[in-house]
Structure 1
Amino acid sequence: MAQKNNQAVVKDSSYYKRKFWRFFFYGLGGIFLFFLFASWGLFGAMPSFEELENPESNLATEIISSDGEVLGKFYNENRTAIKYKDLPKSLVDALVSTEDERFYEHSGIDAKRTVGAALKLGSNGGASTITQQLAKLLFHGEGSKFLPFRIIQKAKEWIIAIRLERQYTKNEIIALYFNQVDFVNGAVGIRSAAKVYFNKEPRDLTINESATLVGMLTNPSRYNPKRFPERAIERRNIVLGQMVRNHKLEESAKKMLQSKPIVLDFHPESHYDGLATYFREYLRDYMKEWVKEHKRPDGEEYDVYGDGLKIYTTIDSKIQEYAEEAVTEHMKNLQQEFMNQQKGNKNAPFVNITPQETDKIIKQAMKNSDRWRILKDKEMSDDDIVATFSKKTKMTIFTWKGERDTVMTPLDSIRYYKHFLQAGVMSMEPQTGQIKAWVGGINYKYFQYDHVGQGARQVGSTFKPFVYATAIEQLGKTPCDTMLDEPFMIRKGRHHVTEDWEPRNSDQKYRGMVTLKYALANSINIISAKLIDQTGPEAVVDLTKKLGVKSDIPVQPAISLGAVDITVEDMVAAYSTFANQGVYIKPYFISRIEDKNGAVLYEPVAESHDVLNKDVAFAVIKLLEGVTESGSGVRLRTETGGSGDNRWTGYPYMFKNPIAGKTGTTQNQSDGWFIGMVPNLVTGVWVGCEDRSARFKSLVYGQGATAALPIWGYMMEKCYADPDLQISKDEFERPDGFDMKVDCWSAPRSSSGSHKEADSTGTEEQNIDEFGL
């Protein structure tokens, strides 16, 4: 009996052993087949060899200045790739110590951590290695929480991790991982994170900063040092502790670092922030057309937002910075004066227009607004949309003292923003055509219309040098030739004039015999009108076209007074021709474009043509030097302090170097201009309100010498104070063999030849409506 029982036990034991091993091998085979099927893609697509070789990284396009600074980016995700060699050791040590201690020992999966996590059912967290986390980031995201799907996703993650380990070195995996992580606040990848949170390149991160960023990896939102500094410090200290545990940091150093706060230099990278915001938007529009004409080798268009292009521009970050600072410095003061002058104006900021005309301006602004567009898309009627503009709402508004939260009606906000003076500034190197600075307005976030390349405005007296250049070239005039400033009329029928045209000087005075140099320096209308009468308006229009002006210009004598709309960009290019000895060079702003691997995709070829001979161009330069020597630009050389009603007419600089330039003021002070030139930099400045009927009441503040010239002065002071820029203080180059008389007594003389002092205030003419345009 006992023997039978023993035999039964042995039989049962053998049976269960066979069953166990059968179950074991079936299970092992099932696991093998499961992973095999997963690798074949039966549970969902797996990355191909090509995709592993070139993982999709959605890289931002970088906009880089001529001096190597990143001006901004175009992106879907703000990610810029970085190589392992550019990562600081402290950052790599912090990552490996905290996220994957055996990173350099495993081949993608840490078996010890995986088994430990499985035995504890994940209660102490997962066991994902850095490589597994990279696999998740690159190829299948967060995935499902449903257990069967989660198991499938985990299997795919393991397979991809092993393949990544075969494809890349450990260092390359770390670099790939850091390039993929989202650090929130628009910072994707370590380079963007270092820039956003600490305003530096990754290689310059301190140990504390490295530990802070690595600490965010567990949960970037929860450990965001901007929103939750205490949590971020606690997590940073854990990272520092892990570095000690892994012998990457001394205990004493850890204690010292843990006692310190996290010091941020927070610089969120958005399209509204940073340098050259208007230029970057102009560049974006340019690139939309560029990708249509320059295709990838496969025939597809480049993706400006994801292909990681590098656009190297001609913009100099320092000159750009100084131009923006100059606009801010002057415009906030000028705006204060403008607001003071609007007190008591029931129709502010508009002057001398009817209520009906004001209503038309406001209604048009309503229809151009985002509010109107959004509500129209919701199929609301026009009347219902108009009604919403009279309902008070919370909003953030722009002020020169910073953004301000307030409550007002959208209608009131439209009129509020109509009060703001705008500015446009562009600088160009005349010998190369390279644009060095581009400021399209006072604040891109709130005022997105570009007053450099997009908006053409009336140019006033800044047009007159084109008339004088035509007279010098075609009539043989010289700056020292004299003409009689006296009442003058062009009769009906001459030069296609439909009515008798009798121009007047802005101060209604006449000065007798004056040199051309004096006449241009003091913007004497009569002399400009007489010159165009002699050359004919056709010749002047022809010259402006050769100078690159794209605006339609009427063939009428009245253009001699500047009632013509031209962009700042075209005016700077035209004036640069004079500084470049008569050779026009088309302005350009891209030096080259590279793909993400550094291959050059595009390099522009400079476009140029001869317009004037060197002697004529130099004669015009000498005429324009007279403007800053004794004319409306003389305040550049006179350090004065304003007070009372003239408190913003004082100037804190005294330039002693040669400066050629011209001021301009248009109808009723709607536009103020100054274009200033030194041998290697030409800068144009325009100032005015968005609507031409919103303006200064007096010429004192509305003229170009007050509204625009100070921006040039402030900017050039900063440029000259920066020796790295090497902005010239030299004389303009005099052509070999030049013998034209250009240095002459510029003030008017009486008929007996004795000096007669003119009553000149340094202001320009006003282009009166009856001038015939």
Structure 2
Amino acid sequence: MNHYKNILPLEFDKIKASLKNNWKVYLLRGSGVFFASALLFYLSIYLGLWGKIPSINELKDLKQSQATSILDVNNQLIGKYYIYDRQSIAYNDFPQHLIDALVATEDARFYEHHGIDTKSLFRVFFKTILTGDDASGGGSTITLQLAKNLYGRSNYGPLTLLVNKIKESIVARRIESIYSKKEILTFYLNTVPFPDNTFGIESAALKFFNEHTKALSVTQSATLIGSLKANHSFNPRLFPEKSKSRRNVVLQQMVKYGYLEADSASIAMEKPLILDYQHFAPNQGLAPYFREAIKKQLDSILHQNKYKKPNGKYYNLYRDGLKVYTTLDNTLQKYAEQAMKDRMAKLQKQYENAYGKNKPWLTNKPGFELALKRLKKYQRLKASNLSEKEILDSLSKPREQELFSWDGSISKSLSTRDSLSYYLKFLNTGLISMEPSTGAVRAYVGGIDYRYFQYDHVSQSKRQVGSTFKPIVYTAAIESGMNPCTYFSPKAVTYTDYEDWKPTNASVKDSINTLNYSLKYALSNSINTVAVKVLHETGIERVIDQAHAMGIKSNIESVPSIALGSSNLKVIELCEAYTSFVNESKPSKPVFIRKIETNDGKVLASYTDLNPKQPVEKAYSDATRQVMLEFLKATVNEGTARRLRSTYQFKNDIAGKTGTTQDNKDGWFVGILPQLVTVIWVGNDNQQIGFSNTAIGQGANSALPIFANYLRALNKDAHYNSLTKSSFETPSDKVTRSLDCPPTKKESFLERLFEPSPDKTEFNKKRKKGIFSWLFGKYKDE
């Protein structure tokens, strides 16, 4: 027993020594296996087995998708086309306090490390992981963040974070070996994501503060840099108080690292957070309809072979950072949009109240049923062979919807049927302002709100133009030789060759009127019966030819009702026609784009490339133009648009024409300044629904006030004095003498004797000189 007692301790000692030696071996072997596995794992990432890593050569040519900028006539940004809202700028455009705020907050040792801050990584490991200290900060450097911003991250399951971090560290090392610290900061600030899906400091500065980066204040820079920690949580638009608090943390970091004096920081931290938020998304912000019209033009332009890139590929509107210089005037556009909103919100209430309980857009009205059956959703269900009951059941299921209202967007639970009824009631509008001498489009309002009504009422919609067509009829008459002092009876006539069509005037007393009206009086007061008689004397085909010569492209039906504006035309082509009255009798083709540049400032397409000058013939003589301008001035001074003088008290030189269509479906106004022509339409998109009465629906009440609001804003802005205080040309002595006659006169015995019966007559499609015309000089031979 004693023998075993002596042996056991020795054996235990041997076993203990063996275990001790084996533990070291196991640890050594385990460590070797771990490090070998880690090395192999790292090499597998480095060699691209987990996805390709950009090479040094690829990193030398860093390119990112950049937004195409849309600039106004004063080179102010009005919108962008992009996949990522990004605009690149140079290092010299960064204010020093922006760089300081970034470094102090995101990477205090930025100028000391080479892409990976080992010291910070160890700090994060020991304090955050081992001690649970969340305040220890992050170990990601600006260069690592840049690598992530440039190439994003992929999903690798449980190893996602580890694989991505290693890939980013490899890229960061390569970036640091190629680029200087200034270049890295430039890349970073041009690519880093800011709130509201905005990429790069320039886009963020413009979006949140309406300032270029170089003009940012210290507090503005701190606000944007502060948002990088969490784009949503520190979004200054959504969470201003949290954003301000984070801004102040950035300012404190700047003090901590010696970039800002404590006193200056204290003053800055007391300042309120003030935004000047700009919408650049396609369906928001200034001039969205104009930007969409521009996009369609650019799609065509950029697919022409002569505008290809040096590598033979077409430019991409959403990626290549082009600059598109347009003709739009940012300020005029703001005035036009506000003028429209102010009037349309009030008019909508008048419109709805005037119908009372008999609203045609309600679900139990015949017009609603027709509109419902035109819906694409209804037609799809019908094509699926569903019964009418099944279709209606499907269209009656409610869902939460964001809806337009003049008091701001609202959210309601509505079915498709209820939603249709809701939107059927809204009036819409279209407005365009053009510079007559060049055709430059200065303002363009395609509808009341692009987010909800994307149909463009300037370039897409065609509506009956009403009395705004009458000046074209009168122009053709004067140009064909009719004396401006020709008089016509306003009495209604039945035209037997057109199914006994009998146009009338709004005033009943014209049927017993013994006065004859001069052309000037008849046009300025928009007398229907006289307009038809002028067309009758001139000839339908001659009037149609005159319309086309003035820039009208749409088909005009050869019927006498065109004298009253039965033709469907676009707002933009009517505007083109009216420019001829203040542009030497020549219609001006609308111009949208001045030039296009590449992102490095090279001119891709110049004005002359985009708008080749073509000889434009006069649509009529100078004398005719001067006569017609006097007629249109009279419309404002004493005719249907006289409220511009009486109600609005405008002293400007203004000419114009109101227009109202049958059953008050459309209201029009054309406002002419010597250097600006504006055409406005108002109506319901559903042409079966008009205004309930003429008092509300006539162009003088629906469309003219928009022009009045617009002109009032222009008159208040001294910058536009050259526009608002300009004068019309003085008519020649010959023209002045030709207009020297009273507006009305009584019918003579001979006129009553020789004039055709006022009850029935045939319509002359071509110009004819009757005995009366020959005897009494209705025509003045050229």
Find the counterpart in structure 1 of residue 72 from structure 2: 65
- Mean CA deviation greater in 129-138 or 744-753: 744-753
Find the counterpart in structure 2 of residue 569 from structure 1: 572
Find the counterpart in structure 2 of residue 452 from structure 1: 458
- Mean CA deviation greater in 377-386 or 273-282: 377-386
Q: Give yes or no for contact 1:428–1:434 (8 Å, CA) kept in 2.
A: yes
Pair 1:136 & 2:148 matched: yes
- Distance (whole Å) between structure 2 residues aligned to residue 384 and residue 190 of structure 1: 53
Secondary structure at the aligned position of 1:583 is classed as coil
Pair 1:359 & 2:366 matched: no
**CA 1:348–1:385: 2 relative to 1, 3 Å:** closer
Find the counterpart in structure 2 of residue 198 from structure 1: 209
Larger Rg: 2
Q: Give yes or no for contact 1:108–1:131 (8 Å, CA) kept in 2.
A: yes
- Distance (whole Å) between structure 2 residues aligned to residue 202 and residue 375 of structure 1: 53
Question: Where in structure 2 are the equivalents of 1:615-634 lying within 5 Å?
Answer: 615-634=623-642
- Distance (whole Å) between structure 2 residues aligned to residue 42 and residue 23 of structure 1: 25
Structure 1 residue aligned with 2:653, among 654, 658, 668?
658
Q: Give yes or no for contact 1:194–1:205 (8 Å, CA) kept in 2.
A: yes
Find the counterpart in structure 1 of residue 424 from structure 2: 418
Structure 2 residue aligned with 1:270, among 281, 284, 298?
281
Structure 1 residue aligned with 2:493, among 488, 491, 498?
488
Task: Report how far residue 439 of structure 1 moved.
Answer: 0.7
Structure 2 residue aligned with 1:518, among 497, 516, 521?
521
- Distance (whole Å) between structure 2 residues aligned to residue 349 and residue 139 of structure 1: 54
Structure 1 residue aligned with 2:235, among 212, 220, 224?
224
- 1:317-351 Cα distance to aligned partner (Å, 9 max, x none): 1111111111111111111111111113164579x
- Distance (whole Å) between structure 1 residues aligned to residue 188 and residue 384 of structure 2: 43
Q: Give yes or no for contact 1:479–1:741 (8 Å, CA) kept in 2.
A: no
Find the counterpart in structure 2 of residue 543 from structure 1: 546
Find the counterpart in structure 2 of residue 3 from structure 1: none
Identity of aligned residues (%): 38
Find the counterpart in structure 2 of residue 434 from structure 1: 440
Task: Report how far residue 593 of structure 1 moved.
Answer: 1.6
- Distance (whole Å) between structure 1 residues aligned to residue 61 and residue 381 of structure 2: 44
- Distance (whole Å) between structure 1 residues aligned to residue 57 and residue 554 of structure 2: 51
- 1:546-569 Cα distance to aligned partner (Å, 9 max, x none): 222122111122211111110110
Question: Where in structure 2 are the equivalents of 1:370-381 lying within 5 Å?
Answer: none
Task: Report how far residue 151 of structure 1 moved.
Answer: 5.3
**CA 1:53–1:740: 2 relative to 1, 3 Å:** farther
- Distance (whole Å) between structure 2 residues aligned to residue 627 and residue 276 of structure 1: 31
Amino acid at match of 1:325: Q
Pair 1:307 & 2:313 matched: no
- Distance (whole Å) between structure 2 residues aligned to residue 742 and residue 522 of structure 1: 20
Find the counterpart in structure 2 of residue 605 from structure 1: 611
Pair 1:721 & 2:716 matched: yes
Find the counterpart in structure 1 of residue 506 from structure 2: 506
- Distance (whole Å) between structure 1 residues aligned to residue 748 and residue 385 of structure 2: 78
Q: Give yes or no for contact 2:578–2:587 (8 Å, CA) kept in 1.
A: no
- Distance (whole Å) between structure 1 residues aligned to residue 240 and residue 500 of structure 2: 76
**CA 1:82–1:750: 2 relative to 1, 3 Å:** same
- Distance (whole Å) between structure 2 residues aligned to residue 607 and residue 564 of structure 1: 30
Q: Give yes or no for contact 2:153–2:164 (8 Å, CA) kept in 1.
A: no
- Distance (whole Å) between structure 1 residues aligned to residue 406 and residue 156 of structure 2: 50
Find the counterpart in structure 1 of residue 663 from structure 2: 668
Q: Give yes or no for contact 1:624–1:661 (8 Å, CA) kept in 2.
A: yes
Give the RMSD, CA atoms, in angstroms.
3.6
Find the counterpart in structure 1 of residue 299 from structure 2: 288
**CA 1:381–1:69: 2 relative to 1, 3 Å:** farther
**CA 1:100–1:157: 2 relative to 1, 3 Å:** same
Structure 2 residue aligned with 1:533, among 520, 536, 561?
536
- Distance (whole Å) between structure 2 residues aligned to residue 718 and residue 626 of structure 1: 24
Find the counterpart in structure 1 of residue 643 from structure 2: 635
- Unpaired runs of at least 5, structure 1: 1-19, 493-497, 640-652, 754-769
Q: Give yes or no for contact 2:714–2:724 (8 Å, CA) kept in 1.
A: no
Task: Report how far residue 543 of structure 1 moved.
Answer: 1.6
Task: Report how far residue 576 of structure 1 moved.
Answer: 0.3
- Unpaired runs of at least 5, structure 2: 1-26, 131-135, 750-762, 766-782
Q: Give yes or no for contact 1:502–1:771 (8 Å, CA) kept in 2.
A: no
Find the counterpart in structure 2 of residue 321 from structure 1: 334
Secondary structure at the aligned position of 1:270 is classed as coil
Q: Give yes or no for contact 1:579–1:618 (8 Å, CA) kept in 2.
A: no
- Distance (whole Å) between structure 2 residues aligned to residue 380 and residue 200 of structure 1: 56
**CA 1:42–1:379: 2 relative to 1, 3 Å:** farther
Secondary structure at the aligned position of 1:340 is classed as helix
**CA 1:560–1:607: 2 relative to 1, 3 Å:** farther
Secondary structure at the aligned position of 2:670 is classed as strand
Structure 1 length as normaliser, TM-score? 0.84
Question: Where in structure 2 are the equivalents of 1:386-425 lying within 5 Å?
Answer: 386-425=392-431
Pair 1:443 & 2:439 matched: no
**CA 1:696–1:169: 2 relative to 1, 3 Å:** same
Structure 2 length as normaliser, TM-score? 0.83
- Distance (whole Å) between structure 1 residues aligned to residue 563 and residue 222 of structure 2: 67
Pair 1:731 & 2:727 matched: yes
- Distance (whole Å) between structure 1 residues aligned to residue 38 and residue 738 of structure 2: 94
- 1:81-132 Cα distance to aligned partner (Å, 9 max, x none): 2222222222110101122223233343334434555666866455332122
- Distance (whole Å) between structure 2 residues aligned to residue 398 and residue 51 of structure 1: 48
- 1:426-445 Cα distance to aligned partner (Å, 9 max, x none): 10000000011111111222
- Mean CA deviation greater in 653-662 or 40-49: 40-49
Task: Report how far residue 748 of structure 1 moved.
Answer: 0.8
Q: Give yes or no for contact 2:368–2:421 (8 Å, CA) kept in 1.
A: no
- 1:591-618 Cα distance to aligned partner (Å, 9 max, x none): 1122222222223225551122322222
- Distance (whole Å) between structure 1 residues aligned to residue 742 and residue 332 of structure 2: 34
Pair 1:557 & 2:560 matched: yes
- Distance (whole Å) between structure 1 residues aligned to residue 154 and residue 103 of structure 2: 22
Equivalent residues, number: 714
- Distance (whole Å) between structure 2 residues aligned to residue 338 and residue 98 of structure 1: 57
Task: Report how far residue 158 of structure 1 moved.
Answer: 3.2
Question: Where in structure 2 are the equivalents of 1:720-759 lying within 5 Å?
Answer: 720-725=715-720, 726-734=722-730, 739=735, 741=737, 743-751=739-747
- 1:393-415 Cα distance to aligned partner (Å, 9 max, x none): 43333222222333443312212
**CA 1:260–1:489: 2 relative to 1, 3 Å:** closer
